[in-house]
Amino acid sequence: MFQKVLASFGSGGAKVDAQLMDRSVRPGGTLRGQVQLIGGQVDQEVESLEVTLVARVEVPGTEGRPAHHEDTAFQKVRLSGREVIKAGAQVTVPFEVQLPWETPVTSVLGRYLTGMAVGLQTNLSLAGTMVDPQDVDAVAIEPLPAQHRILDALSRLGFQFRDASLVSERIDGVDQQLPFFQEIAFTPSPAAAKVFNELTVSFLARPRDVQVVLDVNKKVRVLKGGGLGARGQAMLGTFDVDQAATNTNWEQRIDGWLKELAKPRGIFD
């Protein structure tokens, strides 16, 4: 009886351990793995076993409250319904999780992007317990070829990666499926720094192409209220990049767009 009481508080109860088979995966791809379900000191009834993709997302502040971060689930697979896990038993449950096309990138060529936190959370729900076992494993998500091509073009133009974040908002004028989007921020090249404060790129991938959103913060020479500009003015540019993305000179196209933005249009620009 005492063992049953301990199991109800999570001590001596069943446990889970997820193992990823893929070292990395791309948006739209399939993440494969298996969950080791390990029985505790007594038989326990499993209500459900699930794996969920979770991302750390920045939520803007409202009504005077500061911005904060929340763990947001964006894909879930149920692996098991009601059944009994015997004491001391070990059960292996394989799984496959289809990543949404808009899944954020967390690494490029094996290099982690600062600010990204995307993981696979395994949840075991046990009947009659106060604490349900969990297991979270970081997932390495590499860019699609089209996404990598744009990132490479920015690097070749002298822009340096700064950090990345996920924002719980929607981008105007684009077909966005997830309730958040990724911003990958770059510090401008020495030449561009004379005109721009920063550049961020967002990807909204689809099966055949990727919508690329470039958000540039341009320095303002004179504020409308007087004085020199300090905050800058945001300007957006959108491009559709075919998944092949091999024939377009994206360095030239992005550089041309930036040079067009750099031209003064008036006293307040």
Q: What is the residue extent of each domain of the chain?
A: 13-138, 145-262
The predicted-structure confidence for 62-83, as pLDDT tens digits, reads as follows 776 777 889 999 999 999 877 8
Say which residues have a Cβ less than 8 Å from residue 83's Cβ, sequence separation at least 6: 45, 46
- In three-state secondary structure terms, 97 is strand
Fold assignment, 13-138: Immunoglobulin-like (2.60.40)
Residue with more model confidence, 68 or 119: 119
d(Cα 89, Cα 132) in Å, to the nearest integer?
18
Q: What is the pLDDT of residue 8?
A: 42
Q: Name the band, by pLDDT with cuts 50, 70 and 90, for residue 204.
A: very high
Q: Name the band, by pLDDT with cuts 50, 70 and 90, for residue 230.
A: low
**What's the chain's length in residues?**
269
Q: What is the pLDDT of residue 128?
A: 56
d(Cα 217, Cα 84) in Å, to the nearest integer?
57
pLDDT at 222 over 70: no
Say which residues have a Cβ less than 8 Å from residue 226's Cβ, sequence separation at least 6: none
Q: What is the pLDDT of residue 9?
A: 36
Q: What is the pLDDT of residue 234?
A: 80
**Considering the chain, what is the average pLDDT of its residues?**
85
pLDDT at 55 over 60: yes
Tokens of 227: 């004085």
Which DSSP letter does residue 127 get?
T
Tokens of 128: 């009659």
The predicted-structure confidence for 175-189, as pLDDT tens digits, reads as follows 899 999 999 999 999
The predicted-structure confidence for 31-50, as pLDDT tens digits, reads as follows 999 999 888 777 888 888 99
Kindly report which listed range (3-17, 95-109, 112-126, 214-228) carries the lowest average pLDDT score: 3-17
Task: Give backbone dihedrals phi and psi of 252, rounded to 5 degrees, phi first.
Answer: -70, -40
68-94 core/surface letters (b: 16 or more CB in 10 A; e: else): eeeebebbeeebbeeeebeeeeebebe
The predicted-structure confidence for 246-266, as pLDDT tens digits, reads as follows 678 999 999 999 999 888 765
d(Cα 147, Cα 207) in Å, to the nearest integer?
13
What letter represents residue 245's amino acid?
A: A
User: Which residue reads 């004028």 in tokens?
Assistant: 173
Kindly report which listed range (140-154, 183-197, 235-249) carries the lowest average pLDDT score: 235-249
